[in-house]
Amino acid sequence: MTKYDKMLIIVVLIVSIIVIYIKALNVKDSKDNYIRIEVNGKIYKEIELEENVEKEEIIRTKFGYNKVQINGLKVRVKEADCPDQIDVKQGYISKPGESLICLPNRLSIEIKSRKNESNVDYISQ
Amino acid sequence: MDKNKKIVKISLLTSVGIIFSIIEGMIPLPISVPGLKLGLSNIVQLIGIVSLGGKASIVIAILKSILVGIGTGNVMSIMYSLPSSILSTFSMIIVYRYFKEKFSLVGISIVGALTHNFIQLIVASIIVGNLNVMYYFPYLAIASVFTGGIIGAVTISFLDRVGSSRLKI
């Protein structure tokens, strides 16, 4: 490892940690969240996240099939017909800004926060 | 050395890369970040850049993406692995060519991993139609430092043991 290698490593780590830290500051309150399901860039559905409420949402479009499980404030993709299963393997997400992605089915599920709507939007867009 | 030997070496590195990609797909990862992976097959790209040159390593990157896609039955995946694969190889070629004295293969490999992740998130954003996935870039950047660094170090120790002169054309 050269001096420049080390510099590169340190710069990347510091910048990434600062960005993550700033984002974390903006989304302190993680109650009052909802998920936005988008298919092919268009909003498919928005669902409120409430504690102790279990729901399942089946998304069937021309791109494919996904079954979303909402477990209180956590969301995951339970089943999908895509070959890579990356969205299923991703498991539960629960923090605003996090999203589940299924590329073959053009699906994205993002957790959004109502209280910090402007901040979250500013960061994610 | 002649053209046939070069073709054989490109094929060998490509096939090793395909095996790495397939093995990597079998390793479960504990953290849920889309796009996170070890990048084992990047070893092949690095060896290619050092021993066969830039053009050959781009050829390896293209062949690998296409053949892994066909081999795993996930043909759609070619569409989103090809751009990141080509551009990450390209970034490593640039760093190797112009900053060889400054960066070792560890740094070059990290640059490749960063580029790979960044392009992959851009491709994902385009396909899904929104920029939500970019949220994960800082996490992937941190991961790139470690995965890229490890892959670079492994490649260095491989080249030391084999002696890069034996791989050279």
A120 touches chain B (CB under 8 A): no
Residue B46's pLDDT band (cuts 50, 70, 90): very high
Residues of A in contact with B80 (CB under 8 A): 103
**pLDDT for the residue numbered B108:** 96
Q: Do B138 and A84 touch (CB under 8 A)?
A: no
Alpha-carbon distances of B91 from B96, B100, B116, rounded to whole Å: 9, 13, 9
**How many Å apart are CA B89 and CA B112, to the nearest integer?**
6
**Interface predicted TM-score (ipTM) of this complex, two decimals:** 0.86
Measured N-to-C along each axis, helices A117-124 and A3-26 cross at an angle, to the nearest 10 degrees, of 150
Residue-level pLDDT at B165: 63
Of A46-55, A80-89, B11-20, B69-78, highest mean pLDDT:
B11-20
pLDDT band at A25; cut points 50, 70, 90: confident
Q: Which chain B residues touch A100 with a CB distance below 8 Å?
A: 34
B74 neighbourhood in chain A, CB within 8 Å: 83-84
Work out the percent of chain A whose per-residue pLDDT is above 90: 34
Strand order in the sheet with A107-113: A42-48, A33-39, A107-113, A99-102
What's the alpha-carbon Rg for chain B, to the nearest Å? 16
Which of A77, A99, A121 is most worth mutating to test chain B (most B CB atoms within 10 A of its CB)? Answer: A99
Check residue B32 and give its pLDDT.
Answer: 65
Confidence class for position B169, pLDDT limits 50, 70, 90: low
Given this model, what pLDDT does residue B156 score?
A: 93
Q: What is the pLDDT of residues B129-148, one digit of tens each?
A: 888 888 889 999 999 999 99
Cβ atoms A114, A47 nearer than 8 A: no
Identity of the residue in B102, B103, B128 whose CB atom sits nearest the CB atom of A103: B128
Q: How confident is the model at residue A125 (pLDDT cuts 50, 70, 90)?
A: very low
Phi then psi for residue A97, to 5 deg, are 100, -25
Across B27-66, b (16+ Cβ under 10 Å) vs e yields eeeeebbbbbbbbbbbbbbbbbbbbbbbebbbbbbbbbbb
Given a cut of 70, whether residue B166 has pLDDT beyond it is no
Q: Has this prediction a pTM greater than 0.80?
A: yes
Residue B155 makes CB contacts below 8 A (sequence gap 6+) with: B43, B46, B47, B105, B109
Which pLDDT tens digit goes with each residue over A81-100?
988 788 888 888 888 888 89
For A117, how many CA atoms within 13 A lie in the half-sphere containing its CB?
6
